[in-house]
Amino acid sequence: MDTSALYRDVIEFAHDTPGWFQTLAEVWTEAGLLLFGGMFVFLWWRARRLDDGALALAVLAPLATAVGYVASESLKSVVDEDRPCRAVAGALAPLVECPPVGDWSFPSNHSAIAGAAAIALAMTVGRLALLTVPMALLMAFSRVFVGVHYPHDVAMGLILGGSMAALAMVALTGPTSRIVRSVRAGGAAGAVWFTGPGPAR
């Protein structure tokens, strides 16, 4: 798949935007991942007072995101696609430093993590999809906007990360719920602190 022309269009658009907007995109391309991390922590803390299934989902969300990242990194190590900031002739300079040779382009790990986190968080609390899905799409677009990925890199990252996270959540929710139930019943102080007391009785 060749999305070089679309890449050139996006990077030209990026150079035409105001400086403050470019800075915002540069910050978002990294800080968005931290925001997803904060949401994981918040949902885990909130779920400590909910039932076993809810806590299992909250605990699994970051683990499922890690599965999405591993799948992306594994594919990246097989497909040695150079970054567009080096490979696309006639393209304007990226807004950020071009990653070194050997840090391959396909698929986008940032997009895979964002897609995985968006789906995992939405499966934990359904209404969060209204927030997490646009966040992931913006994260993916920002990677093209700053000039370090092709459009097809980020599209595959989103699809791969999101699908792997969904599979992990579906496959592991039952076993994790049973583990949570056992830990809560065991009464060990440290473990119960992590799992919380569960719903008030």
Does a structural domain hold residue 72? Answer: yes
| Percent of the chain topping pLDDT 70 | 98
Q: Which secondary-structure segment (H or E) carries 125?
A: none
Does a structural domain hold residue 97? Answer: no
Does a structural domain hold residue 53? Answer: yes
What one-character DSSP code corresponds to residue 49? T
Specify the number of domains making up the chain.
1
pLDDT at 21 over 90: yes
Does a structural domain hold residue 134? Answer: yes
Q: What is the pLDDT of residue 200?
A: 55
Tens of pLDDT, residues 87-138: 898 888 999 989 998 889 999 999 999 999 999 999 999 999 999 999 999 9
* Distance separating alpha carbons of residues 156 and 105, to the nearest angstrom: 11
pLDDT at 24 over 90: yes
Does a structural domain hold residue 187? Answer: no
Does a structural domain hold residue 114? Answer: yes
pTM, entire model: 0.89
In sequence order, which residues have a C-beta less than 8 Å from that of residue 173 and are 6 or more positions away? 53, 56, 57, 60
Does a structural domain hold residue 16? Answer: yes
Helix axes 52-78, 109-124, angle to 10 degrees: 160
Nearest CA to 56 out of 64, 3, 152 is that of 64
Q: Which domain holds residue 139?
A: 4-91+103-179
Does a structural domain hold residue 184? Answer: no
